[in-house]
Amino acid sequence: MNLARTVHLPPKHTNVSKGDEHMDSKTMKLGNSTVTVYSNLVNMSPEERKEWFDREWANGNSVLKDMAGVISEIATTTETDP
C-alpha cells in the first residue's frame, strides 16, 4: 500500500528590504554587471568584519549559516565541473 503525503517546509529565503535608510551601501562594477550591496559590513575594516562574522556565527545567525552552505555548494560544484 502506497500512501502519499505532502510535507510543507518553510521557505529558506528571508526577504530583507533593500536600501534601508539605516544600512550602508556600496556599488561596484563587475564585468558587465553593476552590483549594489546593501550592508553595514561594506564600510567596516577587515578586522571589524571578521569580529562581526565570528560573533554572528557563534550566535547561530541562520542567514549567515545558510549563505555559508550555499557558498560551499557553489565552490564544490565549481571544483568538480570540467
Phi, psi of 50 (to 5 degrees): -60, -45
pLDDT at 71 > cutoff 70: yes
Per-residue model confidence (pLDDT) at position 23: 78
Integer CA distances (angstroms), 35 to 23, 29, 30, in order = 16, 6, 7
Residues linked to residue 37 through DSSP beta bridges, in sequence order: 26
Q: Please state the domain extents for the chain.
A: 25-80
End-to-end CA gap in the chain: 44
16-68 pLDDT, tens digit per residue, is 555 566 778 888 888 888 888 888 888 899 999 999 999 999 999 998 999 88
d(CA 82, CA 80): 6
Which SS3 state, helix, strand or coil, does residue 4 take? coil
pLDDT at 80 > cutoff 70: no
d(CA 53, CA 55): 5
